[in-house]
Structure 1
Amino acid sequence: MTSQSGLRDILHFSHANGFPAGSYQILLDQLAEHYDVKTIDRLGHQPQYPVTDNWTQLEKELTHYFEQNYSRPVIAVGHSLGGLLSYMVARNRPDLIKGLIMLDSPVLTPMQAFGFKMLKRLNLSDRVTPAGRTDGRRQHWADQQEAMDYFSGKSLMKRFHPESLRHYVNAGTEWVDANDPAKGVRLRFDPETEMNIYRTIPHNVRSDKPLAMPSAVIGGRNSDVFWPMNGARMKSKVGMKVRWLPGGHMFPLEKPRETAELIHQLLGEML
């Protein structure tokens, strides 16, 4: 998509927790046919932006990246963690964002927000987030093929597009020692960081007034994260377009081409 200046619009994509940006290569390649696509490889891995409650430093990481790397407002697209962080930047720094699309990223209703605030105070958030499943997760394999076999059996990933799974393993693992392949591969996304991100999900993000830019959210019809009540509130209070695609919370990696098509369609309607 070309802006009024004659330049292609910059589309910055932000990934979900635990899934480096390279995991979304099919989606990103398709979007790159229309936009100048940019990413941050792994959010939450820079020491100057530690994971804190309500993701205050992670929001700063994304804000500062936009400030330092882009000379004009960008289209912000994000999945899960990346979608909510993009929303937070759009809410607090609307000058940086031209349009916003969130992928299965709920802005909590007031009741949900109060409940999660209480769970965090009681150290019970692991009961309702994937943090509990992340604790003790396997981190090491003999090679990428063994990692592929392992992840293909996981319920979260068993419906991934086959190439999305390959891209996730390529982006999400690294050699323990590049000079000694016998030492195998390990996860690149730090599991402790992943757990902390789940445990500090924001309970203070406002959803009571419209954003300053066009925005939309795409939900998975079978998602256990983004519910119809979240979509209804984001439509009525924030003024967002709401669309749905088949699949669960990970639909951008299950149906990456369909997701890219709908993103491009929505941007054509919005901008």
Structure 2
Amino acid sequence: MREIIHFSHANGFPVTTYRKLFGELDGEFEFRAVDRYGHKPEFPVTRGWPHLVEELLGDVDRQYRQPVWLVGHSLGGFLSLMAALRRPERVRGVVMLDSPIIAGWRASLLKTAQMLGIDEKPGPAAVTKNRRTHWPDAEAVWEHFRAKPNFAVWDQDVLRDYAIHGTEPTGKDSERRLRFDREVEYWIYRTLPTSLGRKVARGAPVPVGFVAGTRSREVRQCGLGATRRLVGSNLRFIEGGHLYPMERPQQTAQLVRELIGAMRQQGR
């Protein structure tokens, strides 16, 4: 019987974007996921994301009786860890994919910036505000993102999945629009949790692993001090930026497999 991974996506990327990564592990794990966080009115985006954590845990409670592995990328890594802190009896372990813990003076600075409303400019929220959302057809989506440097380095199968499954028909000829609501994405960026570092200062109730991109801007900005203290020996590096699961899905899958194997032993 395959073990279960409940996967949580990065902000702005529906879970179908990760199909190639899932395929690499399909023989060993059964994947389940929330398709798009923050799109149900009963789970709104608010400061610190408490309702998004509820959405994750609600999905886990509905689908499984036994504890499961939580794996998440960026936003999804944070939600997975927060879910494990809230309900450790439902979780075997957590793998965070480029979700560095914000702690210490960085967390204090972010909290102050949020209170003053000046946290938008330094991060991706400002870019999200003006992101294009509509294209004439799926091929136009593909061409649009393929021309962007941050997307040009993606695995081509993953980029194709995003072009097709990250968009949906509008009903007007072949026109397509982004499936992930731009406003939801924007407010997720604006409501980052600032207390997570304090909550894990003495460790977590389940094993936690972390995979850091060697060129990740997010890792550079947040540092890895708090993350290293949390995960200990369960720290791995992979060539790539913050979106390395899209750039190197096969290598990412291998590291997820490796970390779960290590944490499986630690949990005995």
**TM-score, structure 2 as length reference:** 0.94
Secondary structure of the structure 1 residue equivalent to 2:187? helix
**Which residue, out of 159, 162, 181, partners 2:156?**
162
Paired residues of 1:207 and 1:234 also in contact (CA < 8 A): no
Counterpart Cα distance in 2 of 1:128 and 1:240: 32
**Which residue, out of 156, 181, 184, partners 2:173?**
181
2:261 aligns with: 268
**Percent of aligned positions that are identical:** 37
1:4 aligns with: none
Q: CA deviation at 1:62?
A: 0.7
Secondary structure of the structure 1 residue equivalent to 2:219? coil
**Which residue, out of 195, 210, 222, partners 1:204?**
195
Paired residues of 1:144 and 1:170 also in contact (CA < 8 A): yes
- 1:181 aligned partner, one-letter code: D
1:56-99 C-alpha deviation (Å, 9 max, x unpaired): 11111111111121111100000000000001011111011101
Assess, with a 3 A threshold, how the Cα gap between structure 1 residues 15 and 229 changes in structure 2: closer, same or farther: closer
**Which residue, out of 95, 101, 104, partners 2:89?**
95
Q: CA deviation at 1:232?
A: 3.1
Root-mean-square deviation (CA), in Å? 1.4
Secondary structure of the structure 1 residue equivalent to 2:130? coil
Paired residues of 1:234 and 1:240 also in contact (CA < 8 A): no
| 1:65 is the counterpart of 2:59 | yes
| 1:137 is the counterpart of 2:128 | no
Q: CA deviation at 1:124?
A: 1.1
* Runs of 4+ deviating beyond 6 Å: none
1:149 aligns with: 143
**Which stretches in structure 1 are left out of the alignment for 5+ residues?**
1-6
1:236 aligns with: 229
| 1:117 is the counterpart of 2:108 | no
| 1:250 is the counterpart of 2:230 | no
Counterpart Cα distance in 1 of 2:119 and 2:150: 19
Secondary structure of the structure 1 residue equivalent to 2:31? strand
Residues paired across the two proteins, number: 262
Counterpart Cα distance in 1 of 2:255 and 2:96: 12
Counterpart Cα distance in 1 of 2:233 and 2:37: 25
Counterpart Cα distance in 2 of 1:80 and 1:181: 35
1:102-160 C-alpha deviation (Å, 9 max, x unpaired): 00001112111101101101111112220100112111100010011111122321210
**Which stretches in structure 2 are left out of the alignment for 5+ residues?**
none
Secondary structure of the structure 1 residue equivalent to 2:139? helix
- 2:202 aligned partner, one-letter code: K
Secondary structure of the structure 2 residue equivalent to 1:156? helix
- 1:251 aligned partner, one-letter code: Y
Paired residues of 1:210 and 1:239 also in contact (CA < 8 A): no
Counterpart Cα distance in 2 of 1:38 and 1:158: 28
1:39-58 C-alpha deviation (Å, 9 max, x unpaired): 11111111100000011111
Counterpart Cα distance in 1 of 2:122 and 2:48: 16
- 1:110 aligned partner, one-letter code: G
Counterpart Cα distance in 1 of 2:128 and 2:247: 21
